[in-house]
Amino acid sequence: MVQRSKSTLPVTVAVPVKNEEANLARCLERLGRFAEIVVIDSSSTDRTCEIAVEHGARVVDFKWDGKYPKKRNWFLMNDSPKQGWVLFLDADEFLDDVFCDEVAEAIAKDDKDAYWLAYNNYFLDKPLRHGLAQRKLALFRVGKALYERIDENGWSQLDMEIHEHPIVEGEIGEIAAPIDHRDYKALGHFIQKHRDYALWEAARYAKLKDASEAWASLTSRQQFKYRYITKWWFAWFYFALTYFAKLGILDGSAGFHYASYKLWYFQTIRLMIREQAASPDRK
C-alpha cells in the first residue's frame, strides 16, 4: 500500500484505466505525496481494481453510453475531485520527487489555473531522448477546465478523451520536470491502440469540416495536423521532423522504429479519411 507523507499535495490524481495490471502498481506506488488517488475503471477483467484497492486508491466504475461525456469529463462532472487541483495520469505514466516538488512550488504560488506537463517517452523498453517532445495539459484547478466537447454519438469505441484537450478558464503555466511515459505492455498493444486512434482521428476529421466553433478551440498544433493530414506528404513530414530535424536518429533502432510507426499511423489516418469519403454512406 502507498504510504501518505505528512506533507501532502492538495491534488486529486485521477487514473483512468481498463485492464492495466501490467502498469498500475508501478504508477500508484509513486503517488504517496498526493491527498487523493482515484482510479476510474471501465469494467476491467484483470486484477486492475484489486491492485488499485491494495494501493489505497478509491475505485470509481465508469460505463460509457457512446455519447458525451467521456471518462475524464464524466469524472469531473459527476464524481468531483475532493481536492482543489486534479492531475490526470495514465497508468503507464510514472512520477518522481522532482516532479512532485515542482508541482508543490507551482501550486503554492497560486498564480496559474493549469499546467502543461512534459514527458520522457520509452519505446521498445528504450528511452527516446530526442524526437518530437510530448506534452499534455493534464494538471488544472477543479472547476476551471473541462475537456473539449465532441458529440460522438457512437462513432468511436474509445471511452476516454485521448486527443481532446482541456479548455481552461485562466492562466496556463508549465511544469518542466518530466513524467516517465513507459508502457510495460507488449508491442501488439501499441499497434492496436494506434489503430483505434487512427479510426477516431478519421471520424473526427469528418466532423471538423463543418464545425467552425470546434476548429477555433483547437491548439495551433492540432489545427496544423487537421489542415494537412490528408496531404500525401504529411506522414513523411512527421517522420522527417521526428527522426531527422528533432534528432530521433540518435535514439538508435528504437528511434527509427518509433518514427516509422508514427509514419504508418498518420498514413493510415489519411487512407481511412479517403475511404470514408468514398463510401456511399458518407454521400
Tens of pLDDT, residue by residue over 182-193, are 999 999 999 999
Please report, as a single letter, which amino acid is at residue 13. V
Residue with the bigger pLDDT between 269 and 1: it is 269
Q: Which of 87, 255, 72, 264 is nearest to 164 (CA)?
A: 72
Tens of pLDDT, residue by residue over 153-194, are 777 889 999 888 899 999 999 999 999 999 999 999 999 999
Q: What is the CA radius of gyration of the chain?
A: 19
Looking at residue 283, its pLDDT comes to 46
Please report, as a single letter, which amino acid is at residue 245. A
Does residue 3 belong to any structural domain of this protein?
no
Residue pair 125/41 in contact (Cβ under 8 Å)? The answer is no
Are 140 and 240 members of one domain?
no
Residue recorded with cell 499534455: 136
Angle among Cα 153, 196, 28 to the nearest 5 degrees reads: 100
Are 14 and 154 members of one domain?
yes
Residue pair 181/99 in contact (Cβ under 8 Å)? The answer is no
How many Å apart are CA 182 and CA 193, to the nearest integer? Answer: 15
How many Å apart are CA 159 and CA 67, to the nearest integer? Answer: 9
How many Å apart are CA 164 and CA 71, to the nearest integer? Answer: 12
Are 219 and 102 members of one domain?
no
In the predicted model, is pLDDT for residue 212 greater than 60? yes
Tens of pLDDT, residue by residue over 81-121, are 999 999 999 999 999 999 999 999 999 999 999 999 999 99
Residue pair 130/256 in contact (Cβ under 8 Å)? The answer is no
* CATH label of the domain that carries residue 21: 3.90.550.10
Are 136 and 43 members of one domain?
yes
The mean of the pLDDT values for the chain is 93
Q: Which of 70, 53, 122 is nearest to 93 (CA)?
A: 122
Q: 123, 157, 181: which is the final residue of a domain?
A: 181
Looking at residue 1, its pLDDT comes to 54
Pull the grid cell for residue 66.
Answer: 457512446
Pull the grid cell for residue 124.
Answer: 521498445
Model-level pTM?
0.94
Range of the domain at 122: 9-181
Looking at residue 163, its pLDDT comes to 87
Are 70 and 164 members of one domain?
yes
